[in-house]
Structure 1
Amino acid sequence: MPKEQTEERTPILGTKGASGDATSVYKRRWYIVLVFSIGTFIQACAWNSWGPITASAEAVFGWHDSQIGMLANDANIGYMVTVLLFCYFMDVKGLRISTLICAVLLFVGAAIRCITMEPTVMTVCSPIASVLFGIGSTVLFAGPPKFSSVWFPPEQRTFATAIVSFANYFGNAMGFIIGPLMVSSPTTVCENSTHLNSTLELADIATTMPAINISNTSCVTVCVNKSDLIVEIRHLMYVHAGIAALFLVMVIVYFPDKPPKPPSNTASMERTEWLKGLRMLAKNSSFWLVVFASMISNGVLGQWVTVLYINLKTYGITQNQAGYMGFWQTLVGCTAGLVIAWFSDMFMRRMKLILLFLFLAATLATFWFTAICEKYIPFDITSLYTSCILIGVFINGGVPLFYEITCEASYPVAEGVTGGVMTLVNGIFGILFLFVMYIKDIGTNWMNWALLGSHLAALPLLALFTERYRRTDLDLTVAKRSSSVSGDVQVDR
């Protein structure tokens, strides 16, 4: 047997289950996390391409606010239409081929935006790219629970899910930084334009008088750095395409479906057949309570932050300020997710209590942000930054817990199906939020109230949810039986 194959089959950590089947944990799982995280990073970064550079994109391509919002919506639509199909594919064909297809779609989507910066072509190519990003994100966005259950033991599953979730939010956050750093704001000047309306000749008056010109002078706004913006946006598109190419190459080189031996007993157990699993989810009231509680709020917040500049420009917030605000909200929020996930792994049966606290705190932070914008309290940029960041801490910080608690509530339905349905609901609420922007003369004040309402709607749903840890209970039961029979102590080497 080749040396490489021998190493592949050598467990880092091994025990015998009650049934005699070995369970092992492999160090290469951290490489798999890295690859998956790079994919979620570039997917989120590319998805959030245009919102942080709205003013620049509008100056170069002649777009409007509604078109910027629709580019994010195109990705949502592509995701929603295909997510269940890809979840089926992921459960039937495995993680490798599913992830490879998504990597190809992400690269193609990023590459077609590099073809030309000609406005007419970009107006066509950008929506197509957004749809490809949406389809390419299906496994990356819905797959973390499946991925963590296949590669990680029970005591590391939530943390592994949190790492991938962190990469997703970090990509979204870097979209707020990379865009404004690489693409400068448009510089405009007002050029006077005189239009001759009419000439009045007084021919009937005996005294000779010159003709009187009645004219109108108007100001035409002209972008004087448009050529620089075109080059900068092209370079931004190159960066996205380069990272997408790296992800594709890494998946091709090494990304197996699963480890040679499962990390836990439940990881090796057969899951419910796909269609039967969907029917079971449809009848599972506890599952729907926690899904709607999490995805109403996360769906709205995910789109709210991508149009943050559009929301705040009426209050004098610049494109760069909105970018940094979105960056810090997302970065601090996803970092909080890692800490909260690590903490919840130590207290595995307290997820609901933790989530209730997070959502209550998020409601207060959102009300603070809304009160500042509505001038109920004095407008202060520091307070606006602080409240915006706290929203991200309390909502984004709870995402890994929601992934895990829904998989616990839906077990033995496959994690891919559960994650797909969960993120499908997320996309529905995100699309509804962005479609409101198309209502004529609706303005932007409604955005903050919609975000606040999503948190308030989630609280009673979460309070009604009954915690069940079917998957964890089974793992612990089998592990205890195995330990009593073999007396082995598991050590990570």
Structure 2
Amino acid sequence: MREYIYGKQGDTTPVSFHIPRLEVNNDNEHKGERMSIVTVNTIGSSNYQSIKGSSQYHDSSSTSLVSTRTYLSRFWILFIFSLVCWFHGVQWNTWGPIAESMEAAFPGWGPSTVAMMANWGTIMFVVFVLPVCWAIQRCGLRAGVVSSAALIFLGTALRCITSTPPVFTVMCHTCAILMGISSTLILAAPVLIASDWFPLQERTTAVAVMMGASQLGLLGSYLEPLLVRLPSPQVNIDDTRRDVTHLLYLGAGLAGLLLLAVLIYFPSKPPTPPSVVSSTDRLDFIPGLLSIIKNKQFIILLVAYGVSVGPPVAWMTVLDYSLLPLEFHQDQAMGIGISTVIVSSLSPVIAGRINDLIQGHLRTITFILMLSTSLFFYWFLLISYQVLTPSTWQVYFSVIGSVSCNFATIPLLFEVGLDLAYPVQEILVSGVIVLMDNITCVIFLLAFFIPNVGYLWMTYTLVLCTSLAMMPLIFVKFEYTRLNIDTSKN
């Protein structure tokens, strides 16, 4: 028997959980899986009496029973949603890696067009994130995932109607808008899925896997130059347009398969929660939003996250333009992009797993990664301004190092935000966090519309953003609210 004790700051009355461990062997479907029966004894006034609809913590003299269980089906949910995240990442960054081909084959396409295709995603996220978070709380996760998969399929299908300008360009903008609407759930849902399906020792890792899959989607987009050729004496404009059409047909087919997989099986949550925290009630949408707005610590974290994460995410969609002054063209940039995506897809998983294994050191890990990000970006700045003689290995290492360390901080900062905002619903907290980095993404990509702005401004912007973001985090108290609830204090 283990005793779990936790209390909110300022509350002198603890709440204890007595949790015996039982091995379940009589259930054929979930044989060998672990179950915890949690007895919740609330002595005195409740920590969360203000939560509407709370039954476990409402009665000061009551004892309620909470059972927790993990299901093997959680790995199917993780796999399918990770595939959706991956495919969304591919489609969001469709045009950046083949920008030179698009400019040559389609009149009117240029840096501002390519940037706007990516920018539609961030703009639509800013517009729709709060309504979607409200809808998920009302209708459940399954309805949101199915709707997002349907929007992705519709958008990719529209691009296949014609390859003749200007209708083709209009269809591409329409697809980008639909992708942006679907991104409101795809980018905000990982923490909700992790909380509803995974136990304490797997939560951060599950979030990191889904976020890593989203980043890995960029790998698929950076492979596009293998399918879409640049116009040359041997390849005319019509050949390039046919290559683009084949690429879009492939995307629409994959989108259809993903929609079918989600329709077959994707429940909102398991019958029994995987942890004590997952079983507790959360604030409704409006009270939760008001709680976030009034939470000064969370607002500081929000600003730091948006400034440090948003610009590098946007930069990855237009990486080709930062490499052009260094004489790295589309085919060469593909190699750098692929290497960066692979490493930066693994780095959040590694950081998340380390945090799960050595819990309680979140601040140290986060600051080390943020400092490393700034130093790598500063290295690339020196190369871009030719203070250091440009060389292939230096470009590879500086780009890979900066993006990988930056992306590794994402699941860790999400954990901090969820603890600071608890007991606000996870989908709302993550939606607001991603909203902030999308706002900075919009600002970053809109800079391409400034006449004669060039490309070197991106590099020093990245250095400034990732460096300055560390300062406000010094004033954030890294809470471990959910960890304290789920772990023993013997």
Gaps of 5+ in 1: 1-5, 189-222, 482-493
Contact 1:8 1:260 in 2 (8 A): no
Q: In the alignment, does 2:335 pair up with 1:318?
A: no
Contact 2:30 2:71 in 1 (8 A): no
- Structure 2 counterpart of 1:52, which letter? P
Moved more, 39-48 or 225-234: 225-234
Q: In the alignment, does 2:129 pair up with 1:83?
A: yes
Q: Which residue of 1 aligns with 2:14?
A: none
Gaps of 5+ in 2: 1-26, 40-63
Q: In the alignment, does 2:170 pair up with 1:124?
A: yes
Q: Which residue of 2 aligns with 1:33?
A: 78
Contact 2:124 2:177 in 1 (8 A): yes
Q: Which residue of 1 aligns with 2:191?
A: 145
CA distance in 1, matches of 2:338, 2:280: 41
Contact 2:305 2:436 in 1 (8 A): no
C-alpha deviation, 1:305, in angstroms:
1.2
Q: Which residue of 1 aligns with 2:21?
A: none
C-alpha deviation, 1:381, in angstroms:
1.7
CA distance in 2, matches of 1:8, 1:278: 39
State TM-score, norm by structure 1. 0.86
Q: Which residue of 2 aligns with 1:416?
A: 427
CA distance in 1, matches of 2:195, 2:387: 47
Could you list the structure 1 runs, at least 4 aligned residues long, displaced by more than 4 angstroms after superposition. 6-11
Aligned residues: CA RMSD: 1.6
Contact 1:86 1:139 in 2 (8 A): yes
Q: Is the alpha carbon distance of 1:273 and 1:419 closer, same or farther for their aligned partners in structure 2, counting shifts above 3 Å?
A: same
CA distance in 2, matches of 1:11, 1:97: 31
- Structure 1 counterpart of 2:247, which letter? L
Provide Cα deviations, 1:295-314, integer angstroms capped at 9, x if missing partner: 21211011111111122213
Q: Is the alpha carbon distance of 1:9 and 1:389 closer, same or farther for their aligned partners in structure 2, counting shifts above 3 Å?
A: closer
CA distance in 2, matches of 1:117, 1:141: 30
Contact 1:11 1:25 in 2 (8 A): no
C-alpha deviation, 1:7, in angstroms:
6.0
- Structure 2 counterpart of 1:35, which letter? I
C-alpha deviation, 1:9, in angstroms:
8.0
Q: In the alignment, does 2:294 pair up with 1:283?
A: yes
Contact 1:105 1:136 in 2 (8 A): yes
Q: Which has the larger radius of gyration?
A: 1
State TM-score, norm by structure 2. 0.87
Task: Map residues 32-71 of structure 1 onto 2, 5 A cutoff.
Answer: 32-62=77-107, 63-71=109-117
Q: Which has the higher contact order (CA 8 A, sep 6+)?
A: 1
C-alpha deviation, 1:252, in angstroms:
0.4
SS of residue matched to 1:297 = helix
Contact 2:219 2:342 in 1 (8 A): yes
C-alpha deviation, 1:186, in angstroms:
2.4
Contact 1:9 1:260 in 2 (8 A): no
Moved more, 399-408 or 361-370: 399-408
Q: Which residue of 1 aligns with 2:400?
A: 389
Q: Which has the higher helix share?
A: 1
- Structure 2 counterpart of 1:253, which letter? I
CA distance in 1, matches of 2:176, 2:381: 30
Q: Which residue of 1 aligns with 2:37?
A: 16
CA distance in 2, matches of 1:374, 1:80: 34
SS of residue matched to 1:393 = helix
SS of residue matched to 1:21 = strand
Provide Cα deviations, 1:443-483, integer angstroms capped at 9, x if missing partner: 11101111111101211022221110111211225xx79xx
CA distance in 2, matches of 1:229, 1:248: 29
Q: Which residue of 2 aligns with 1:237?
A: 248
SS of residue matched to 2:379 = helix
1:110 to 137, 156, 159: 156
